[in-house]
Amino acid sequence: MAGTLQFDLVSPERRLASLAASEVQIPGADGDLTAMEGHAPTITTLRPGVLKVASSEGVKSFVVTGGFAEITATGVSVLAERAVPVEELTAALVDQLVADATEATTVGADKDSADKIVADLAAMRTAAGF
């Protein structure tokens, strides 16, 4: 088995996770990617989606809505605007997120990217099982 890398998930309000992971699946803006030990240093922005962290304690999933991830050979730090462990996710919360994003499509000037966020959220909802 490959070595581990230090995984940190922080939101503006608190640090959600800090553990040694064997692999991290990140919903990148240009497509999903999986970071393992020795990954080339990368910075990528996130789209709304499910972030999966595999460690010796099993797989943990978090729902993130946006932000960015900094990947180095020895660690991954994800700075998410909002991050919620999948277990704590409720249908009401997803509805809230979708409603916020939908509202942005009507007021925002950048309709395309806002539409994409809504679509991403819908995909995330299916992936999370709601």
- Do strands 15-28 and 31-36 pair parallel, antiparallel, or not at all (unpaired)? antiparallel
For tokens 């996130």, name the residue.
Answer: 46
93 touches another protein (CB under 8 A): no
C-beta of 82 vs 122, nearer to another protein: 82
In sign, the C-alpha dihedral spanning 50, 51, 57, 58 is positive
Closest CB 43 distance from another protein, rounded Å: 5
Least spacing, CB of residue 86 vs another protein, in Å: 20
| Minimal distance, residue 32 CB to another protein, in Å | 11
The reply on whether position 37 binds another protein by CB under 8 A is: no
Burial 77-114 (b: 16+ CB within 10 A, else e): ebbbebbbeeeebeeeebeebbeebeebbeeeeeeeeb
User: Where along the sequence are the contacts to another protein (CB under 8 A)?
Assistant: 8, 10-15, 28-30, 33, 40-45, 67-68, 70, 77, 79, 81-82, 109
